[in-house]
Amino acid sequence: MRLMLCATMLLGGCATIDLSESSDPDRGAPVVRKRPAAKSASEQSSEKTTNASPPVAQAPSRAPAKKPGGYYQDDGPDERIPEGLLNTPDAEPRIEPYAKGPSRPYTIFDQTYVPITDNRPFVQRGIGSWYGKKFHGQRTASGEIYDMYKMTAAHPTLPIPSYARVTNLRNGKQIIVRINDRGPFHSSRIIDLSYTAALKLGYVQNGSSELEVERLLPDDIKRLQASRRQEAAPVSKPAVADENETIARPVNAPASSSVGAEAGGFFLQFGAFSQLPNAVSLRERLLSTWPQDLPRPEVVQSQGLYRLHSGPFNTRDLADRAAQALKSSAQLQTTIVQK
């Protein structure tokens, strides 16, 4: 079975690799065929005046220019873009068994990758890209058909299938995607998102952005599922926020309280650390200029990492408004996480 591994290579190229078992003893390592490399960033930039790119704020209403050079060697959106892509729901996390084939170690361009097969925490920051119509309709490493309009992603080592929360660190937008493919295989790229996922994060036009990738572990998925069930349950009286309530004050939680990671709701996360002193040090620096009307940041331990959180907030909108207030008043960049 042939599996497509999309990788934003040295300049955005992709590779086709056969990860299936073979009876031929001479085949050795999987065969890799490198696709044509994309043009450099400067070449792409020089052609932007002739190759119109779709706006970031909404899905493009027309096809991109046919002339090669845009969207990584013309690997862009299709000629007919479905309407309402920005309203596409995030992938719904489920606990699934890992596929055997994509769980084996593999080698691409003399680099060996060892996929994760246990429940270790995983948080990664770096440049993420996206892949589109050149691979639309082809098989992914999971054996599923790649659909550029679904909320999926390719990663070199995260389990297949698994789920990850991805945050665009340049604008604070956040999504959840299903990992079902391998790639990218370039040292400057950490993940390849589907077209729609990149559109929702707001970097389709640029082709890449600085992202944070956090794996959702089974306990995280269970909490999300429980939160969705609770939201879907009928209530006798809907909660209405007081118009005079400060935007940063979480419902049913005083601002001076210390909140554990197991509490439900939305949190502002300022970092996740493997060492406690690093989290404590950052907390002390934040407290020196911390606004009085915001819940104080607290260090909480979750899945082997020490996370610096402020919250909880009853809704994502309240959390987002608090994040924007911090960005404006203290130039602090944060991400919003749901527990």
pLDDT in tens, 154-209: 999 999 999 999 999 998 899 999 999 999 998 899 999 999 999 999 999 889 99
- Asked if residues 5 and 183 have their Cβ atoms less than 8 Å apart, the reply is yes
pLDDT at residue number 107: 95
Q: DSSP code of 145?
A: B
Report d(CA 3, CA 106) in Å as an integer. Answer: 13
Residue 7 scores a pLDDT above 50: no
Q: Given pLDDT bands bounded at 50, 70 and 90, which one contains residue 292?
A: confident
Task: Please enumerate in sequence order all residues whose Cβ is within 8 A of that of 146, keeping only pairs 6 or more positions apart, or say none.
Answer: 4, 6, 135, 136, 137, 138, 139, 140, 152, 181, 194
Q: Given pLDDT bands bounded at 50, 70 and 90, which one contains residue 44?
A: very low
pLDDT at residue number 310: 87
CA distances from 267 to 209, 256, 297, 314 (A): 23, 15, 10, 9
Residue 31 scores a pLDDT above 60: no
CA distances from 144 to 147, 220, 267, 280, 329 (A): 9, 25, 34, 43, 46
Residue 50 scores a pLDDT above 70: no
Residue 282 scores a pLDDT above 60: yes
Average pLDDT for residues 106-121, to the nearest whole number?
A: 94
Average pLDDT for residues 250-279, to the nearest whole number?
A: 61
Report d(CA 138, CA 5) in Å as an integer. Answer: 10
**Mean pLDDT estimate for the chain:** 73
pLDDT at residue number 335: 83
Q: Given pLDDT bands bounded at 50, 70 and 90, which one contains residue 248?
A: very low
pLDDT at residue number 28: 31
The identity of residue 338, as a single letter, is: Q
CB neighbourhood size of 108 (10 A): 21
> Which domains are assigned to the chain?
3-35+69-215 (2.40.40.10), 248-338 (3.30.70.1070)
User: Is the model more confident about 201 or about 71?
Assistant: 201
Average pLDDT for residues 251-272, to the nearest whole number?
A: 57
CB neighbourhood size of 331 (10 A): 8
